[in-house]
Every structure is written in structure tokens, then in C-alpha cells.
Structure 1
Amino acid sequence: MVQEELFKKLIAHCKEYGFIFPSSEIYDGLSAVYDYGQNGVELKNNIKRYWWDSMVKLNENIVGLDSAIFMHPEIWKASGHVGAFNDPLIDNKDSKKRYRADVLIEDHMAKIEDKIEKEVEKARKRFGETFDEAMFRQTNPRVVENLEKIEDIRKRMVQTLESGDLEGVRQLIVDLEIVCPVSGSRNWTEVRQFNLMFETKVGSVSEDANTIYLRPETAQGIFVNFLNVQKTGRMKLPFGIAQIGKAFRNEIVARQFIFRMREFEQMEMQFFLRPGEEMKWYEYWKEARLRWHKALGTNPAKYRYHNHDKLAHYANAACDIEFEFPFGFKEVEGIHSRTDFDLSNHTKFSGKKLQYFDPETNENYIPFVVETSIGVDRMFLLIMASAYTEEKVDDGERIVLRIPPALAPVKVAVFPLIKKDGLPELARTILNDIKLDFNCHYDEKDTIGKRYRRHDAIGTPYCITVDHQSLEDGMVTIRDRDTMVQERIPIDRIRAIVEEKVSYRKLFEQL
């Protein structure tokens, strides 16, 4: 199945099975805004729990916070968002479509990278087990030439973007002969900067109201509460503050389903540390965060690090953990060494000293920060894209979501074989017992086969069937989602078997 077709099927599956709906659909929807359905909200909450517990419960020196969405407008001046939170946009005059200029250039580089990978794959098939990929990449003329092209493009892009040379950015697009994906033409406008923050008013009378912003990130709520948390929690460096919350960006080029939205949710942790130790902790959190992803059992070959060519104004090092989505490798999490930029600027703009007294060195200083930031919605899409499987089985085909059991929306479904003879009553008794521990479903409609297929499609790890023999011997049939193997087990063992499969403990032990 081609990746574009897979992505379309995944989007349709999300709607059909109650994971994600277009927002305001009965009013023809709202672009780049989505609602999470009954199964989607469960999966989303489970992702957040996995992240939160791995950060706050497993680390003695990391605590949580929930800061407000509305914040004093000076905060966004101090953070640089008012002056520097812009995207370089370019329009195609023929299609009337608008694009991020840097994304057009990055997509062009990705096409060259695809050419390199095709050359490598051809050579691998040709030479077999004797193939030395590293040597091939260093010596093959076509690969070397394309690598040099990518590096030249990257240098020009970084130079023009960092210097604010918008005409230079446009000229690079022209020189590379990049065409509009819709019209196929190269009829481009000039490049313009567009600020991504949403503005609103606070106040009882419109003419006296003050302009404030919907927060474009959750990090600043952590920084302005640094001293509150440090003092009340008696925290010693190094320590972290974690937060999950909504953020808002007026994305002009919102695309790829829930990958880029105007309202989204972030899971961020700011780790405060001594100046000079930032690179040690930067490398630590890079490795720790990748372990967190791989513990879920997703294909490790689909992850990679991508070091930033153009650093943000606050960073001295930054990289992304990228995942190979159906539309290519894209960022799912960022790790950034933010230096002391944020606390220093908030000290300057607020007039309050955001310093830490170090009892070991007997001095006051502004801590440095290493940040980990992951999008809940992107992580949701990663899980769904990894889980969606179409496979042939004895009675035809089935669609199954191989969601990591700990994250599955429904952990166990309970079925009576038929709707009479006391089977529904026993099934309900079992359900009422185990629902105290797990999110469960009861289903008595249609054949057992159809009920299995429904729960395969939402990723339920186990299905329990109550039959007439269950009334006599206290045994039920348990079916595994992934293997479809069925076995008879005592009713009093259901909880232990399900717990072993769906517990977060197995994930946490790998961290």
C-alpha cells in the first residue's frame, strides 16, 4: 500500500471508529481544528498519562504545574514571541495557495535525500551481504554530488533566514526551480513574515480593553513560576517542571490532518541546571526521550535525530526526534538547550530577580535550561500510524490497530455468546468487577466474529466471551488481539491476565 493511500485510510478510520472528528462538522467544519471522539479521548489521555508519570512519578526531582492560558502580554515580549514568532510565507500567483518558504526548500532537500536512498537501496540489492553502506555513501559519485547539493542549499537557507533576507529566501526558491505542488508553476510572490499568535481582548468595555494573546507555547508559564515552584517545593538544582496544556498558533499552512493544527496540546518539561552543565543534560535528555518512544514497541528504524541548522533565538543547541509518518520523516519531539535566555529576559522585563541561591557554591545565579517538548496530537498520530494494520486472515481480511496495550482506549471487551440463558447476566457480573480496574466495553450485538472485528479496529487487547459452559465450570474464552489465539481461563484470573498485558509498569521498566 502506498503511503498516501495509507494516510487517507487512516484518516477515514479515525472518523469511522470514534477517534477524531472534524470540528463543527454540521456547520461544514473549521479548517485545521479537530475534536477527539470517544475512543480518541481515551487514547489521548493514556498518552498523556504515560508521559506525565514517566516524568513526574519516576523522577524525584521533577514536579508538575498547570499554568493559565491567558498570561500578561509583557511575557510574550520578554520571550521574543511578539517580535520574532514569525513564519516566512510565499504565495503562488496561479494556484492562489500559500506556503511556508522554508518548508518548500526543506521538501526540495527531502526529494534529493530520496534520490540518495534509492541509490543506496539499489546498491544493497546488487551487493547483498557484502554491501558496505557507509563506504558507499562516502564514495559513490551520485550520492556525494547530491549530499553536496543538500549541504549547499541548507547553508543558503540558514544564512538567509537568520539574516532576515526575505528576498534571498525567494531567490533560493527561484534558483532551485521549485514549483507549486498544486499549479506546477513557478510564479511566486515575494516572501513575507507572518506572526502566528492569536490576539484577543480582556476587559469589560471594548475601548478600554487590553490586548492579550492566546499562548503559543506552554513553556513560559513554567518560567514565570520558576521561583514559586523552587521555593515552595524546596527544589535543588538540577530539577524540572513538567506541564501538559493547550497552545494556539494561527497556522496559515495547516496541513496533514492533526500533525499541524491551530489548537493543539503540548507536553513540556523545563529542566533547570547549573550554567556550564547544559550540554551534559542536553545529551542525557536526548537519549532518555528516545528511549521513552522506543519503549512503546514502535519500529525503531522509523526514528531519527535531526539537529537544527537554524537555531531559535533562545537556544545554543537543538535537535528533533523525527518519526517516519506516512508523509515522511517529521518532528514529533524537540530537545533544546535554552541557556538562561528566558529567565534572564523575564528578570529584565518584570524587574524581579529570577535567581537561584546555590548552597554548594554559596552564590546566586540564573539557571540554564534544557527543554523537552512533545506534541500530544503528533504523538497520537504517530501511535495510530504505527498501529494501523490490514491483514489477511482465514475468514477474509481484518483491520487491526496494534496500539501498545497500555495506551489502548478499551482494555477488555466482554461478550455473552448469545443474549439469553443467563449468559448476559454472567457477562455483566464479570464486567462490573473488572471495570473497577480497566476501561471495559460490553457488547452483545451481532455475531462473535463481527464483535471481534469491531474491537480489533479500535485496538482492544483482549476480548472475553461467556458461553453456556461458563455457567457450569466458571471458565471463559479470552482472545488476544494480536495473535487471535483463544484460550479458556478461570473467571477469577481475568484481572491478573489483563493487568499483565496492559500495565504501564512494563513501559516504565524500560526507561
Structure 2
Amino acid sequence: MAQKNNDELFKNVISHAKEYGFVFQSSEIYDGLSAVYDYGQLGAELKNNIKTYWWKSMVQMHENIVGIDSAIFMHPKIWKASGHVDGFNDPMIDNKDSKKRYRADQLLEDKIAKYEKDGKTEKAAKLQADMDDALKAEDLPRLKALIEEHEIACPVSGTKNWTDVRQFNLMFSTQFGAMAEGSDQVYLRPETAQGIFVNFLNVQKTGRMKIPFGIAQIGKAFRNEVIARQFIMRMREFEQMEMQFFVRPGEDKKWFEYWKEARLKWHKALGTPTEKYRYHDHVKLAHYANAATDIEFEFPFGFKEVEGIHSRTDFDLSQHQEFSGKKMQYFDAELDENGKPYGNYVPYVIETSIGLDRMFLLTMMNALEEEDLSTPEKQDSRTLLRLHPALAPIKAAIFPLTKKDGLPEKAREVMDALKFDFNCIYEEKDAIGKRYRRQDAVGTPFCITVDHQTLEDNTVTIRHRDTMEQQRIEIKDLHWTIESKVSWRSLLSQS
């Protein structure tokens, strides 16, 4: 029954996202483009608010972290140096009947999640251990054997007619240049981190940054994901919010623990239930890492990564130093415990990397609820998007009670006064109750109703989304009332 409820929740979020203008299938009038989505009018606002929360938390609240915006196109040698050309692969398996391709490890993870839901915890633990061993050893035949051993069927065809597991490179390539015969092959960046690393010296010198310091960036990345499923969880074009924190060699473990704790606190400040989050330590580390932990969120389809914290050592800067021939070193004039300058060294890096689209989905999942308002006399309910007020796409909706007697004009005055500071919407169609319900469904924290009494004493009714409580307040107090709930201060002070 729980599985059914989880499936229903996921389907409800997807349909709600489309119905209210949050997320649309890309190129929908042409039957869509697989694993690519567009953000609608409210989705764009919510997405921007999540970005603002992250940026303010990272850059504004830290004196030693600055932000950049690097280009999507970069020199192809960068991806050779980073290891993406030779090593950016996923273990893929095809079903011969459906012709669909899947990530072998994700098929196994789904089976593990099913075992756990069915109470078969020992079986789940055994499969998890076997999969981790196979991934660590890069034993592709073993991955296929596990898929067969646990009788995993293709979700589309329902058959178990599998090919061998093979590695598949995920980078998109394109031609760079006006003429095809004289153009160079370049890649659409599969991550935003390398744009930070190649600008390490530019930022450090122009900003006179001292170790430890960080560089943050929000930007698009592209991966040729072959699995189009789970809505915006896995997309070919997606957005990342990454911060690379440069530290002294030997201090990486200390900072790794610091950022693990700090990033989980950032998530929890939004009011998400603590039990919905967990840490997952990597068994198989990436080629650049000496430690890695994922912050996972419990989606309806199981715990999945939302953010990664990685101790990348000095791999990236050392690789770019070797491939470019330019020194990527920092001169540290501060004295160590023996009274000697630290001198020149290639800094170590702690990375925090969060998927913006996954964070968007998490936020929608956590906020959407159907609230039963039934009484003995009447059946009633409402669809509510209980977003943190700071993230809400619309902060206040202004309603004239009727479309006559000067109420629309007065409501427009209120709207004009508030819109400089808050994203507001004006609406006069339908009964007031229906208007309230529409705003509940998109997460608007406040509804302000202008009625005939307003014309007499300059007071309005303000309705609170979460409690449906209505207050009579003076128009001059509206700004403070809204600001006290939706300001970034209320959120940043807890993160």
C-alpha cells in the first residue's frame, strides 16, 4: 500500500507541476524531447528562488567565498586533463526486446529499494554489498550476473533478455568553428567545476584571496543520459550549484567534515523532516577523490542523491598544471607550527555540488499535500503547496472583493505599492474562495482582499496560507507583515 501511495504522490507532483505552470515537457507540441524539460512561469520563479537561497548562503554569508560564471564551451584539453574524455563512463545494459538502455547500477538500486520496501532487509544488504564490490572492481560481467541472479526485468518489455554490460561515455560533443572541415571538436561541459579550476589563479590574484577560500558557480551542464525516467531527476540538460573550497594539504579532512555538516544544515533550514535526509558514503571513489559523501533525500522511489560533498585532493589543479604548462600554485606566507612559511603548494579542494533540478523536485515533493477540511456537515479539501515563504514564486495575491464600486482601483493601489519589493499577482475572476484555493495550490503565503471597508478605513483582510487564518490590518502594515515571513533573513539565519 505504501508503494502505491508513493507512486500516487510522484504522479500527483508531475501533474501538479504541469497544471499550474511549474514544469512542461520540452518541445511538447512536437511530441517532446526525451529527458529534457522546460520550466514554466511559476517554475522559473521557484527555481530562481532556490538559486538565490544557495547563492546568498554560499557567497553573501561567507567572506571567503566568491562567485563566478564561466563559459559552457571550454578548451577540449580541459576535459582530457580532468579525466572526462577517458573515464566519464556509466555501466550500461540494453534489453534486446524493448531496445531500451539502462544504467546497470540503477537497475540494481531499484531492486534493493524494492527488497527494503518488502521487508527483505538481508537480501537488500547482500545485493548492496555485491553491487558495491562489482562497481569498485569495475567488474562489468559481475553486474550483469547480479541482474540475472535477482531476476530483474526490463520495465518496458517485462523480459529479462539482456545484453552484456558496457561502458558508455556521457559527454556531448559538437563542432567549434564556422567551416565543418576546419572546425575543432569541443564538448558541452558535463559539470561546472572545471570552469572554476581553470579560473583559480584569475580569481585568487584579482580578489587577493587567502587560503582557505571558495569559488561558487551556478550553471548549465550537459550529459547524454540514456535513461529518461523519474521526471526531472535525470536530464540531459540540467543545472548545478557548485562550490570548490581551496584548502591547505593536510587540512582537507577537517574541511570535508565541516562542509558535510554545513550543507545538511542548509537543507534542513527549509523545514524538511530530518528523517527524510541521510548521508551515504561512497564505496567506489571517483578517480580524483579521497573521500565522498552524498546527501540523499527520500523520494517516493527511494533515497536518491541530491548533493555531493567530495574531497578532490589536488588532482584537478595538478592535472591542469601538467596539461597547460602553467603553475597552479598558491604562495602561503603564513607560518606553520614550526614558525616557517607554508610556501608554494597546489591547494587541495573540497567540493559541494548540488543538482538544482533535483532540489526543485525535492522542494515540490516536500511541499505538496492534500488537506482534508471536511466537517460533519460538509466534505471539503484543498490542494496546498506548503513552500517556505522565502521560496514561494508569488509572495502575495491581491484581490478586489468585487469588480465594481472602486474596489479594483483600490486593489491596484495596494498592488503597485507592494510590487517593488515582492512578486505579487492581481486577480479578480471567480468567487473569493476559488481564488484562495488557486493561490494555495501554487504556494502563495498571503492573500490580500480589498473590500468596501477598505475604502472607509484603509484596512484589508490578509489571509495566511498555512493556517487559513484571516486578519484585518492596515494597508501601511502590509509590507512589514509580508517581509517578516518571506525575507531571506528568516531563512539564512537558520542555515
Which range, TM-score by smaller chain?
over 0.9
Task: Indicate the residue corresponding to 2:481 in structure 1.
Answer: 497
1:114 aligned residue (110, 113, 117)? 117
Task: Indicate the residue corresponding to 2:300 in structure 1.
Answer: 326
Task: Indicate the residue corresponding to 1:131 in structure 2.
Answer: none
Task: Indicate the residue corresponding to 1:466 in structure 2.
Answer: 450
CA RMSD in angstroms comes to: 1.4
Task: Indicate the residue corresponding to 1:210 in structure 2.
Answer: 184
Rounded to whole Å, the distance in 2 between the matches of 1:32 and 1:174 is 27
Task: Indicate the residue corresponding to 2:38 in structure 1.
Answer: 35
What are the equivalent positions in structure 2 for 1:179-198 lying under 5 Å apart? 179-198=153-172
What's the CA shift for 1:192?
Answer: 1.1
Rounded to whole Å, the distance in 1 between the matches of 2:344 and 2:128 is 41
What's the CA shift for 1:262?
Answer: 0.3
Task: Indicate the residue corresponding to 2:465 in structure 1.
Answer: 481
Task: Indicate the residue corresponding to 2:338 in structure 1.
Answer: none
Q: Which amino acid aligns with 1:490?
A: E
Task: Indicate the residue corresponding to 1:49 in structure 2.
Answer: 52
Task: Indicate the residue corresponding to 1:138 in structure 2.
Answer: none
Q: Which amino acid aligns with 1:95?
A: S
1:350 aligned residue (324, 329, 351)? 324
> Secondary structure of the equivalent of 1:470?
helix
1:14 aligned residue (17, 24, 28)? 17
1:301 aligned residue (253, 275, 295)? 275
Rounded to whole Å, the distance in 2 between the matches of 1:362 and 1:458 is 54
Contact 1:414 1:441 in 2 (8 A): yes
Task: Indicate the residue corresponding to 1:199 in structure 2.
Answer: 173
What's the CA shift for 1:151?
Answer: 4.9
Structure 2: state its 5+ residue gaps.
335-340
Tell whether 2:135 aligns with 1:161. Answer: yes
Tell whether 2:88 aligns with 1:104. Answer: no
When structure 1 is superposed on structure 2, of 38-47 and 319-328 the one drifting more is: 319-328
What's the CA shift for 1:93?
Answer: 2.0
Tell whether 2:223 aligns with 1:249. Answer: yes
Rounded to whole Å, the distance in 2 between the matches of 1:393 and 1:175 is 49
What's the CA shift for 1:102?
Answer: 1.1
> Secondary structure of the equivalent of 1:418?
coil
Q: Which amino acid aligns with 1:486?
A: Q
Rounded to whole Å, the distance in 2 between the matches of 1:477 and 1:156 is 61
Tell whether 2:360 aligns with 1:380. Answer: yes
User: Alignment identity in percent?
Assistant: 69
Structure 1: state its 5+ residue gaps.
119-141
What's the CA shift for 1:164?
Answer: 3.2
Q: 1:269 to 1:493 in 2, by over 3 A?
A: same
Task: Indicate the residue corresponding to 2:351 in structure 1.
Answer: 371
Task: Indicate the residue corresponding to 2:494 in structure 1.
Answer: 510
**Alpha-carbon displacement from aligned partner over 1:474-493 (angstroms, at most 9, x marks no partner):** 11000000100111001100
Tell whether 2:295 aligns with 1:315. Answer: no
| TM-score in terms of structure 2 length | 0.95
Contact 2:460 2:475 in 1 (8 A): yes
What's the CA shift for 1:183?
Answer: 3.3
Task: Indicate the residue corresponding to 2:408 in structure 1.
Answer: 424
Rounded to whole Å, the distance in 1 between the matches of 2:345 and 2:248 is 8
Q: Which amino acid aligns with 2:28?
A: E
What's the CA shift for 1:25?
Answer: 1.1
What's the CA shift for 1:507?
Answer: 1.1
> Secondary structure of the equivalent of 2:360?
helix
**Alpha-carbon displacement from aligned partner over 1:414-468 (angstroms, at most 9, x marks no partner):** 0000011111111000110011110000000011011101111110000000000
Tell whether 2:391 aligns with 1:407. Answer: yes
What's the CA shift for 1:150?
Answer: 4.6
**Alpha-carbon displacement from aligned partner over 1:395-423 (angstroms, at most 9, x marks no partner):** 61110100110000000000000011111
Contact 1:154 1:309 in 2 (8 A): no
| TM-score in terms of structure 1 length | 0.92
What's the CA shift for 1:254?
Answer: 2.6
Q: 1:348 to 1:155 in 2, by over 3 A?
A: farther
> Secondary structure of the equivalent of 2:214?
strand
Contact 1:89 1:99 in 2 (8 A): yes
Rounded to whole Å, the distance in 2 between the matches of 1:106 and 1:446 is 48
Task: Indicate the residue corresponding to 1:121 in structure 2.
Answer: none
**Alpha-carbon displacement from aligned partner over 1:33-70 (angstroms, at most 9, x marks no partner):** 11111101000000000000000000000000100000
2:80 aligned residue (77, 80, 85)? 77
What are the equivalent positions in structure 2 for 1:78-97 lying under 5 Å apart? 78-97=81-100
Task: Indicate the residue corresponding to 1:124 in structure 2.
Answer: none
Task: Indicate the residue corresponding to 1:137 in structure 2.
Answer: none
Q: Which amino acid aligns with 1:162?
A: K
Q: Which amino acid aligns with 1:301?
A: E
**Alpha-carbon displacement from aligned partner over 1:170-216 (angstroms, at most 9, x marks no partner):** 12322333232333332211111110000000111101110000000
> Secondary structure of the equivalent of 2:259?
helix
Rounded to whole Å, the distance in 2 between the matches of 1:250 and 1:45 is 25
Task: Indicate the residue corresponding to 2:263 in structure 1.
Answer: 289
Tell whether 2:381 aligns with 1:397. Answer: yes
**Alpha-carbon displacement from aligned partner over 1:361-417 (angstroms, at most 9, x marks no partner):** 241000000000001110100110011111122561110100110000000000000
What's the CA shift for 1:161?
Answer: 2.8
> Secondary structure of the equivalent of 1:334?
strand
Task: Indicate the residue corresponding to 2:337 in structure 1.
Answer: none
What's the CA shift for 1:165?
Answer: 2.7
Rounded to whole Å, the distance in 1 between the matches of 2:46 and 2:179 is 42
**Alpha-carbon displacement from aligned partner over 1:76-110 (angstroms, at most 9, x marks no partner):** 01001000001111112233322111111222222
Rounded to whole Å, the distance in 1 between the matches of 2:382 and 2:142 is 52
> Secondary structure of the equivalent of 2:390?
helix
Rounded to whole Å, the distance in 2 between the matches of 1:77 and 1:113 is 40
Rounded to whole Å, the distance in 1 between the matches of 2:409 and 2:50 is 34
Q: 1:376 to 1:418 in 2, by over 3 A?
A: same
Contact 1:86 1:195 in 2 (8 A): yes
When structure 1 is superposed on structure 2, of 98-107 and 244-253 the one drifting more is: 98-107
What's the CA shift for 1:299?
Answer: 1.4
Q: Which amino acid aligns with 1:367?
A: P
> Secondary structure of the equivalent of 2:215?
strand
Task: Indicate the residue corresponding to 2:65 in structure 1.
Answer: 62
Rounded to whole Å, the distance in 1 between the matches of 2:315 and 2:227 is 29
**Alpha-carbon displacement from aligned partner over 1:253-290 (angstroms, at most 9, x marks no partner):** 13111111000000000000001111111111010000
Q: Which structure is higher in helix share?
A: 1
**Alpha-carbon displacement from aligned partner over 1:106-150 (angstroms, at most 9, x marks no partner):** 2222233334xx4xxxxxxxxxxxxxxxxxxxxxxx85xx1xx55
1:448 aligned residue (416, 432, 435)? 432
Rounded to whole Å, the distance in 2 between the matches of 1:192 and 1:371 is 29
